[in-house]
Amino acid sequence: MSRFTIIAMVIVMATVAIAQSNYEIMLSRPDITGLTGGGATNLDGIPTTGLAVGTILIIYDGSETRIYRLTAGTDAENSPEIIRPDDFADPGNAKVWKTSISSDPGETGFSPTGGWALTGNTGAGNFLGSTDAQPLSIRTNNTEKVRITTQGQIETYNTGFSVFIGEGAGANDDLTNNRNVFVGYQAGNSNTKGSNNTANGYYALYSNTEGWENTANGCYALYSNTTGYNNTANGIEALQSNTTGSYNTANGITALYSNTTGWNNTANGCSALYSNTTGYNNTANGRNALVLVNPTAPGEGENNTGLGYLAGDNITTGSRNIIIGANVDAPIATGDDQLNIGDAIYGDLSTGDVTIGGGLSITDIPDDAAPDSVLTLVDGQVRRTLASATGSWALTGNTGAGNFLGSTDAQPLSIRTNNTEKVRITTQGQIETYNTGLSVFIGAGAGANDDLTDNRNVFIGYLAGNTGTTASYCAAYGYEALYSNSTGNDNIAIGADALYSNDDGNWNTAVGVAALFSNTSGHGNTAFGRNALTNVDGTVATEGEYNTGLGYNAGDNITSGSRNIIIGANVDAPVAAGDDQLNIGDAIYGDLSTGNVAIGTTATPTSKLQVVGLPVYANNAAAIAGGLTIGAFYRTGGDPDVVCIVH
């Protein structure tokens, strides 16, 4: 019989309580006798009378290790897992040795080859996950919370169908059917009942409690929002001060920064509409466009449109102004109903009077004239950590505070499914995802049907891009954004339900809640603002394509029309199914197929400039007597009908 080197450690449990266990640890105890040679499991000769239940014996014979626990019971001998000692039959000594941990993975699922320590590991090449075609499931309180699929998706689970990634993200969510996506340090931290919200960034949507259908991308974006809804903020500090304002869209650093209760505002560009607090229905496209608009009383600072770098940057309390062009200002900072296009076309939108180049003045437009407008397991086993005796991550979860999963040296954390790296957390804090399609999918169901060819898509949000199979070069951010897209390429959707219905349409851009919602096959459409171009949907080829809508509800009446340009809040196309229509603020209309422009009429212009409604006077004196001023136009009413300038 061979001779074995036997090392015995006895751990005697002194006290067992529900909340706490105390242990006496003894090495080489002389009262432990009777351990025989011939095998690590020959424990029969060890007297157990007097040994406390809970005594743990660790045995190593040079080739295998087992840990036995003395357990009260009458279990039948089943070596090596269950050993009855020789004194088993002594009165009151019904105790057996049961295997607690074995180096044979087939017995207990334990292996000495390594594992993830409760306080981290060192060394390169380690990974957490499966080596077969099974996902990695992660639980807390024995309930699955995170799953990393074999396709590289990070799926998170809770009763609210929400996604929370980052310290404090969504910490106060009541986990009802809220369907929120909060990614970033403290993102959405205060949210309780708010639903269908998306926040990506440091402190994004931090203060939101019950607001719904908000999208915040960027550090401090929508930070102060509490109950406001249907807001979209993309950029550092975009809409940071908003509290209860709704239906706002801000794209750019500090865009709509000061807005608190204002609604239906759209700002695209760094600091666009920066100062606005309570104003509504304003649209600014361009850096610092409408930067100073800030009402001080009801009826002020509303329904303004500024398109261009610094466009309308002088307006403070004025309303219903349209300013287009770089560095173009309103004639009066506090004025209303002013039109300035490129410092070339001026107008009074209250009357419809327009001045072009300082030389054309149009007055007396009839009142009924409406211009045309714009996430430690390996092979399914718990593995012992050689570098640490403090424990490892169990297959069914751990308890205790202060544990973490990861490295303690300058190595990234690699996470695998089917023995293929799917996620890596770098030493710089980046979360890198890997799949054969070079795509990024974050959120339950996001990109779930992608065929993982070289599609290079980015889908972030609950069910974002869910239906897509072969679609490529698409980006979707927000709840169900680009949900139905199957084969459409080169599409961008930002905001809840943006481009929701798109199937095979290409080259579309939608920014704002429900922007381009109905489009299925149309190409080349651009929509900025909530519900912008929301009903565009061509039913046959060449319909519903290449439309542009800028502003809240801009062009929301267009169905099958193409090549239309609609600018301004609540501005519609003259004909829902019409093509090549221009409508800027319901003041300037045009036929884009001919380049003709009309002022004073919604009828299709028949010349490069068509003006309807000039007054009729016999001569200059009569025109002056009729109230016209120098530079105004009138016609004589004869044949030919001469157009004259008051001098």
585 occurs within a structural domain: no
| CA-CA-CA-CA torsion sign (193, 234, 456, 491) | positive
Q: What is the pLDDT of residues 462-485, one digit of tens each?
A: 998 898 889 999 999 999 999 999
- DSSP per-residue string spanning 489-545: -S-EEESTTTTTT-SS--S-EEESTTTTTT-SS--S-EEESTTTTTT---SSTTSS-
Euclidean distance between CA atoms 478 and 210, whole angstroms: 18
Residue 446 in contact with residue 435, Cβ under 8 Å?
no
Answer whether residue 258 is part of any domain: yes
Domain-terminating residue out of 364, 389, 412: 364
- Span 257-280, pLDDT tens digits: 999 999 999 999 999 999 999 999
Distance CA 57, CA 77 (A): 18
Q: Which two tokens stand for residue 541?
A: 């080829």
pLDDT of 556 over the 60 cut: yes
| Close Cβ partners of 540 (under 8 Å, ≥ 6 residues apart) | none
User: Among 51-60, 98-107, 202-211, 431-440, which stretch is predicted with the lowest mean pLDDT?
Assistant: 98-107
Q: What is the DSSP string of 549-560?
A: EESTTTTTT-SS
| pLDDT tens digit sequence for 506-535 | 999 999 999 999 999 999 999 999 999 999
Q: What is the mean pLDDT of residues 571-593?
A: 91
pLDDT at residue 31 greater than cutoff 60 = no
Q: For residue 25, what are the domain limits?
A: 7-111
Q: Is residue 528 part of a domain?
A: no
**pLDDT confidence tier of residue 88, bands split at 50, 70 and 90:** confident
pLDDT at 26 over 80: no
> Is position 193 within any domain?
no
Burial of 613 (0-12, 13-18, 19+ CB in 10 A): middle
- From 111, 140, 161, the end of a domain falls on 111
pLDDT value, residue 187: 96
| 296 lies in some domain | yes
Per-residue pLDDT band at 331 (split at 50, 70, 90): very high
Q: Which of these, 96, 62, 92, 70, lies nearest to 82 by C-alpha position?
A: 96
Whether 44 shows a pLDDT value over 90: the answer reads no
| Mean pLDDT value of segment 222-240 | 96
Q: What is the mean pLDDT of residues 532-552?
A: 89
pLDDT score recorded for residue 15: 28
Give the integer Cα–Cα distance in Å for 7 and 159. 50
**For residue 59, is it within any domain?**
yes
Structure confidence by residue, pLDDT tens digits, 426-442: 888 878 788 888 889 88
At residue 351, the 3 state secondary structure works out as: coil
In a domain, 564, yes or no: no
Instruction: Note whether residue 44 is domain-resident.
Output: yes
Domain closes at, from 85, 111, 137: 111
- pTM higher than the cut 0.75: no
- Number of domains present in the structure of the chain: 3
Strand-pair partners of 407: 121
